[in-house]
């Protein structure tokens, strides 16, 4: 009975959030006295899959069906369920991403399992109890949840666990086929949902995000956001009011009703920090706030703050970022 970890790929590599899930899953397996197996789907290089051994994964089941390069929930669920059955897995681990959330909920129904999302800590396993801690109320509180079903499904919150790199032997990669039918792809989207925000960086997966609000004073000043993002290799984002008034496209809107991000660095320029915006960025490891109002609510959540006009501060940050490359 192994622990099964679903890993997501992007441009042939394993997403950082999935490396976190793999590290989490291998630690759960160790606590249970078993091994951790990963299941990968679609466009992922086998070399990247083999490197999962560094995160404690012993084996990877890989379905390379070309039709799976685009996310289709029903097809992904069928593949993961086949892997879970093959491995007799009773604990399944995902990243708490959009894909992980969609697949996890469907698997919970299919496997009659208990599902816990937004999990922030390793489970406490005591006799017949399997208790996890999950963030609730937009990260303002934590709940202790005992998963009682035979199958337990855990979606790990991004940036809540460290990536293990133990230098272990390479994971073995085995082919997996779920015998998918055309009907499994009936709900395939007509077009991709995820869009990059410039420079080929997908906002939900970005390590660094530079975001702007109404303090940018107009779309004609957005080149400052884009230039800093370019220098830092970051994605660009915006607050909801900015997208609502048409300064930026809606797929850049970060917040409770937009995209949730978990970068290592989130730079907010000219954003006051409404609670709805904070709900979408509070998983960021480091938050830097630039605002001319010293009473702006965002400063309470910031790791670093700069009191000043974003239009005056950003050029200085751009200059400093360029100097780093020299």
Q: CA 104 to CA 256: how far, in whole Å?
A: 20
Q: Do the annotations mark residue 275 as ligand-binding?
A: yes
For β-strands 36-41 and 129-136, DSSP reports them as unpaired
Q: Do the annotations mark residue 223 as ligand-binding?
A: no
Q: CA 294 to CA 315: how far, in whole Å?
A: 20
Q: Do the annotations mark residue 11 as ligand-binding?
A: no
Indicate the SS3 state at residue 100: helix
Q: CA 166 to CA 186: how far, in whole Å?
A: 42
Q: Do the annotations mark residue 282 as ligand-binding?
A: no
Please provide the DSSP assignment of 66-83 as one string: GGGGS--HHHHHHHHHHH
User: Which residues is 306 bridged to in the sheet?
Assistant: 290
Q: CA 244 to CA 231: how far, in whole Å?
A: 27
323: tokens are 């100097």
Q: CA 284 to CA 261: how far, in whole Å?
A: 7
Q: Do the annotations mark residue 264 as ligand-binding?
A: no
Q: Do the annotations mark residue 70 as ligand-binding?
A: no
Q: Do the annotations mark residue 276 as ligand-binding?
A: yes
Q: Do the annotations mark residue 57 as ligand-binding?
A: no
Q: Do the annotations mark residue 287 as ligand-binding?
A: no
Q: Do the annotations mark residue 239 as ligand-binding?
A: no
Q: CA 154 to CA 32: how far, in whole Å?
A: 15
Indicate the SS3 state at residue 141: strand
What residue numbers does the annotated binding site for FAD cover?
214, 270-277, 291
Residues at the binding site are: 214, 270-277, 291
């Amino acid at each position: 009975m192994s622990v099964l970890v679903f890993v997501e790929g992007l441009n042939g590599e394993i997403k950082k959030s999935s490396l976190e899930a793999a590290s989490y899953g291998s630690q759960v397996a160790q606590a249970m006295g078993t091994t951790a197996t990963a299941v990968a789907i679609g466009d992922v290089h086998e070399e990247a899959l083999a490197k999962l051994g560094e995160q404690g994964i012993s084996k990877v089941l890989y379905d390379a069906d070309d039709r799976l390069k685009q996310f289709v929930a029903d097809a992904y669920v069928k593949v993961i369920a086949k892997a879970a059955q093959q491995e007799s897995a009773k604990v399944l681990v995902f990243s708490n991403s959009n894909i992980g959330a969609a697949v996890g909920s469907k698997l919970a129904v299919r496997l009659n399992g208990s599902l816990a999302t937004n999990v922030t800590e390793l489970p406490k396993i005591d006799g017949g109890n399997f208790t996890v801690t999950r963030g609730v109320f937009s990260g303002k509180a934590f709940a202790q949840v005992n998963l009682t079903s035979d199958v337990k499904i855990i979606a790990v919150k991004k940036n809540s666990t460290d990536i293990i790199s133990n230098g272990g032997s390479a994971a073995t990669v085995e082919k997996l086929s779920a015998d998918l039918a055309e009907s499994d792809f009936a709900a395939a989207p007509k077009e991709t949902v995820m869009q990059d925000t410039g420079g080929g960086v997908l906002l939900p997966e970005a390590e660094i995000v530079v975001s702007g609000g109404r303090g940018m004073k107009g779309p004609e000043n957005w080149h400052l956001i884009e230039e800093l993002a370019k220098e830092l290799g970051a994605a660009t984002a915006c607050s909801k009011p900015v997208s609502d008034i048409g300064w930026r496209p809606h797929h850049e809107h970060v917040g409770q009703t937009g995209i949730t991000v978990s970068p290592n660095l989130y730079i907010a320029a000219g954003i006051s920090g409404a609670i709805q915006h904070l709900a979408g960025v509070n998983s960021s490891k480091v938050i830097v706030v630039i605002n001319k109002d010293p009473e702006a609510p965002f400063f309470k959540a910031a790791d670093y703050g700069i009191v000043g006009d974003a239009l005056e501060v950003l050029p200085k940050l751009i200059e400093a970022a360029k100097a780093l490359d020299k």
